[in-house]
Amino acid sequence: MTGWGLAAALLGVAGLAALVYWQLVIAEGAYLGPRVVARTYDWVARRYDAIKQFDPRDERWFVAGPLLRQLAGVGRPLVLDVATGTGRLPMALLRDRFPGRIVGLDLSLGMLHQAHRKLQPYGDQVRLIWHDASHLPFDDGGFDAVTCLESLEFLPRPLEALAEMVRVLAPGGVLFLTNRVGREARLLPGKAIPRSQFEGVLASHPLRDLDVRVWQHSYDLATASKEGHLGPEGKGVDDPLSLLRCSHCGGPMVRRVAALACAECERRYRICDGIVRLVVPGD
C-alpha cells in the first residue's frame, strides 16, 4: 500500500470511529431506532449510577424540590416519570417523604431492573412499566404531574412523546421537562429542540404558566401547568395500574395472578420482578 493509500485508509477508519462515537455515545443510539437506544442503556445499566454519581443533596435541590413546590397544594399526587431509567426522580421524591404515588416508564429493561432494586423498600408506592414513550399506555388526564429528565432528545420521536405527556396530564397538572442545550445539542439535529424554539413548541399545547430556566449542565428546565383545575387531593388512585391500557388494542386491563390481561383482546402482560412488561417480544 502506498503512503497515500495508507493515509486514506487511516482517515476512513478515523471517520468510521467518529461516526460510531457520535451515534452510540453522543446520540446514545437515538438515530438508530428505539431498540438500539434501549440496548445501549441495557449495556450500561449496572454501571449507570456509578457513572452519573448523583448526589442525594443535589437531587433534593434540583430534582425533588422544584416538583414538590409545584405540587404543594395536592394531597396525594400521582406522578408519571417518562424515561425513568434507574429511578432517579422517584428516588429523589421518596427520599423527601413524598405522599403520593409514582409510575416510572422506560424502554430499557436493564435500567428498570436497577430501578426496582433501589425502590423495593417503597413497595407499591412506585410502579415500573416496560414500554416506550411515543404512545403512553394510559387514559387521558390520569396524572397530576408528568416528568421527563435528560431524556427527551433520546426518545425515538420527541415531539410525539411530548404530545403524549400532555395528553395523559390531568387538567391543572404539572409538566416538568428538560431540553438539551449547548454544544452537544447541536450534535443532535432533529432530536434536541433548539432553545429558540422550545417555548414555542410548548406553547402549541394547552399549557399555561410556562417557565423555562437554565438547569444543571447542558439543559433547560421547563415547568408548566395544563389548562384547567387540579383538585386538592389530586388523582389519589390506590393502584396506578388501574390506569393502564392494552398496548396492543388500547382496551382496559384487568388484574390476573402475576399478570395483567386486556379485557377486550385478552392479551396478557407479565408482572415480573416488580416490572409490568407491556413490551411483547416479536411485536
Identify the CA nearest to 147 among candidates 74, 80, 95.
80
195 and 254 housed in the same domain: no
Buried b (16+ CB within 10 A) or exposed e, 191-221: bbbeeeebbebbeebebeeeebeebeebbbb
Evaluate whether 40 touches 106 at the Cβ level (below 8 Å). Answer: no
Q: What is the largest CA-CA distance in the chain?
A: 76
- pTM, full prediction: 0.90
84 and 154 housed in the same domain: yes
pLDDT at 21: 45
Q: Is the pLDDT of residue 261 over 70?
A: yes
184 and 112 housed in the same domain: yes
Could you tell me what percent of the chain has a pLDDT over 70?
Answer: 87
**Confidence at 265, pLDDT banded by 50, 70, 90:** very high
Does some domain include residue 96?
yes
Q: Is the pLDDT of residue 2 over 70?
A: no
Mean pLDDT of 208-227: 92
Does some domain include residue 268?
yes
Query: pLDDT higher for 4 or 82?
Result: 82
Does some domain include residue 273?
yes
Mean pLDDT of 255-260: 88
199 and 262 housed in the same domain: no
117 and 184 housed in the same domain: yes
- Domain extent at residue 254: 244-277
Does some domain include residue 42?
no
143 and 197 housed in the same domain: yes
Cα distances (angstroms) measured from residue 10 to each of 6, 13, 17, 20, 228: 6, 5, 10, 15, 60
Q: Which of 79-83, 205-209, 254-258 has the lowest mean pLDDT?
A: 254-258
Number of domains in the chain: 2
pLDDT at 224: 96
Does some domain include residue 2?
no
Mean pLDDT of 43-67: 90
Does some domain include residue 13?
no
Per residue in 115-169, pLDDT tens?
A: 999 999 999 899 999 999 889 999 999 999 999 999 998 888 889 999 999 999 9
69 and 119 housed in the same domain: yes
The span from the CA of 88 to the CA of 119, in Å, is 10
Per residue in 17-53, pLDDT tens?
A: 544 444 455 556 566 667 778 888 899 899 989 988 8
pLDDT at 33: 66
134 and 172 housed in the same domain: yes
**Confidence at 5, pLDDT banded by 50, 70, 90:** low
The span from the CA of 208 to the CA of 162, in Å, is 15
Q: Is the pLDDT of residue 195 over 80?
A: yes
| 192: CATH | 3.40.50.150
Mean pLDDT of 8-18: 55
Does some domain include residue 236?
no
215 and 120 housed in the same domain: yes
204 and 74 housed in the same domain: yes
Does some domain include residue 141?
yes
pLDDT at 206: 97
140 and 262 housed in the same domain: no
175 and 263 housed in the same domain: no
